Chains A and B, each alone.
Chain A
Amino acid sequence: MAARPRPTSDEAREALRAAMARLADGDQSALEEIYRATRMKLFGICLRILGDQKEAEDALQDVYINLWQRADRYDPARASPIAWLAAFARNRAIDRLRTGKVRSGAVPVEEAAPLPDHSPLADALLIDAEQAAQIHTCLRGLDDRTQGHIRAAFFEGQTYAQLAEAADVPLGTMKSWIRRGLMRLRACLEASEAV
């Protein structure tokens, strides 16, 4: 990747937003720009969820080809491009995990993931700080146990059944815990939106 002056977070975000708009207008060269700017973050997500280099690379390729084919799905009025792309990548990785082809956690993530060479754009492309702070605040408002299970679901791609097994509780118990947690989380997040 070409070395460029380190862009600020705002510049990186704006460049990405513009590239997404160009892609939606049918400009294919925009996809390469988006790829350069976001591949490390999105690959990190796929790798974390899938735990396997090859699977994560397949998922990543799938993410960008899908993005290219359906760039119009992104609505800049609703989400920052990097937040949307991150959710998109995680959803695709989870989909892949749930198709059953992948053995979850087959490769320890620490071994599979090389540390990133710090790409300036990737560094700059952290998701909106305010929004990030809010979800963390609301998560911390949950009891430790519930918080831990919700994090495990998000970061490890675990299902109810896996979480219940790991915690050695009946499935119904785990479902109740997490659903109560999600309800409180929603109330907390909605309260922050109303401000």
Chain B
Amino acid sequence: MTTPDNTPRPDVDRDDAMIAAEWALGLLEGEELLAARGKYATQADFAERKEWWDRWFAPLTDAMPGAEPGAHVWDGIAARMAAQQVVADAPGSQTLPPSNVVALEARVRRWQWIAGLSSAAAAAAIALLAFAPNNAPVEAPGAAPTQFAAAAPMVATVPIGDAGLRLDVTYIPDSEQMLVAAIGLTADGVHDHELWLVPADGGALQSLGVVAPGKVRSMAVSQAITAKLGDGSSLVLTREPIGGKPEGADAGPVVAKGAFTRV
């Protein structure tokens, strides 16, 4: 910010102690702020004075009303901890739980938080971040795959033909969201592919909708459907006219099949 009066006043009052006070109050910006940080790191008496002001000002925060942050805040913290713990975990630190336990605990909390979210879209976004390949939301190098490999959604892989194309379907427990990754599938302009759940109890097929070729997409699934979802529930993919199976018509030919397993 430029101001008309940037000239340092030959103010006898503005010694380092005063700068520490100004910083503690939050008044400094730009170069002055950088200079103060530098002094804090290198000059013990300056650091002490800054902390002295911090301690005295701290009670003023009692006048700021508290507020509840979103549940995803802890989720992010736990994820970062789990990821970094995997990296940092070394033999010899007996007081620390093994990394897989930390990751497991973090995971359990993740699902709890996700289930508690009011917005299903938010859950899907988190899930997308967590499961989309090469898009782990964790900065620690090498840590993310370990962390998320421990997550326990139900996953179905639906191979399509023998060309290596496949559909990856991930169901996130309690979220009523399903992620369908139709990577490698391309639209032919004449057909759509519709995904169906074959309930484990032998009931009628439930449509999960038309898949979006080449995309990872989350779709909402009703409780009626998730109730029938279990280990061994299978999925079939049928070829349909554009837009999916017309009302009243029979479903098209099955082009691929797969089954859910708990990861």
Contact = CB atoms under 8 A, between A and B. Distances in A.
A14 interface: no
B245 interface: no
Chief secondary structure at chain A's binding surface:
helix
A45 B61 contact: yes
Contacts of A98: 28-29, 33
A86 B81 contact: no
Contact of A170 (B5, B55, B58, B64): B5
A172 B69 contact: no
Interface in B79-98: 80-81, 85, 93, 95-97
A91 B26 CA distance: 8
A24 interface: no
Interface residues of A, number: 74
A115 B56 contact: no
B69 A26 contact: no
A5 interface: no
A53 B73 CA distance: 11
Chief secondary structure at chain B's binding surface:
helix
B62 A132 contact: yes
B248 interface: no
A132 B63 CA distance: 10
Contacts of A135: 56-57, 59-60
B66 interface: yes
Interface in A110-153: 113-117, 119, 122, 126-128, 131-132, 134-136, 150-151, 153
Interface of B: 1, 3-5, 9, 11, 13-14, 17-18, 21-22, 25-29, 33, 51, 54-70, 72-74, 76-78, 80-81, 85, 93, 95-97, 102
Given A61-B76, A179-B13, 16 more contacts: A32-B74, A61-B73, A68-B81, A79-B55, A98-B28, A98-B29, A135-B59, A136-B59, A153-B26, A157-B26, A159-B26, A171-B4, A175-B11, A178-B22, A179-B11, A183-B18
